Amino acid sequence: MRIRLLAVGQKMPDWVTEGYQEYAKRLQDDVRLELVEIPAAKRGRNHEVELWKRQEAEALQAAIHPSDRIVALDVLGKPWSTEDLRDRTAQWLQGGQNIALLVGGPDGLDPELIRMASERWSLSALTLPHPLVRIVVAEQIYRAWTLLKGHPYHR
């Protein structure tokens, strides 16, 4: 199974890239985590938030494969415990479907993307910086996978 983290934003600091890669590389053959960086909409002085979100949504939609199960990371989504994520990962593996995890830009996800999603996942009620979200998601996917495999990482 392939889990693709489709995230708006490019040119992250080295600590973000290294943190993400540390967990992504630990995953084995049955679960792979891939990062797809989507350019953020060019923002000007006019506060055209809906236009920017729509532009980012179009780029995200272009990166979603037709057979992907879409999960939107959204503050209004449902919080999942590590065990919830483990159970979802097991279901995703059994279903044989690849997963597209969507992370919006500074203004969030366009409502159309949220409607397209099968699930909405909230990492926290806190507003997290988007670079940090990449690392948190990678670590939690790895943690869920280790639980499935009986690995001692999760103690």
Domains of the chain in sequence order? 2-149 (3.40.1280.10)
Is 73 labelled a binding residue? yes
How large is the C-alpha radius of gyration of the chain?
Answer: 15
Is 146 labelled a binding residue? no
Is 125 labelled a binding residue? yes
Is 128 labelled a binding residue? yes
pLDDT of 100 > 90? The answer is: yes
Percent of the chain with pLDDT over 90: 74
Is 113 labelled a binding residue? no
pLDDT, tens digit (0-9, with 9 covering 90-100), for 56-78? 999 999 999 999 999 999 989 99
The pLDDT score that the predictor gives to residue 94 is 92
Neighbouring C-beta atoms of residue 22, cutoff 10 Å: 13
Mean pLDDT within 103-122 = 93
Amino acid (1-letter code) at residue 128 = L
Is 40 labelled a binding residue? no
pTM of the prediction?
A: 0.92
User: 4 CB contacts (<8 Å, ≥6 apart)?
Assistant: 33, 34, 35, 36, 63, 68, 98, 99, 100, 101
Eight-class DSSP state of 150: T
Q: Which of 73, 85, 53 is nearest to 119 (CA)?
A: 73
Is 132 labelled a binding residue? no
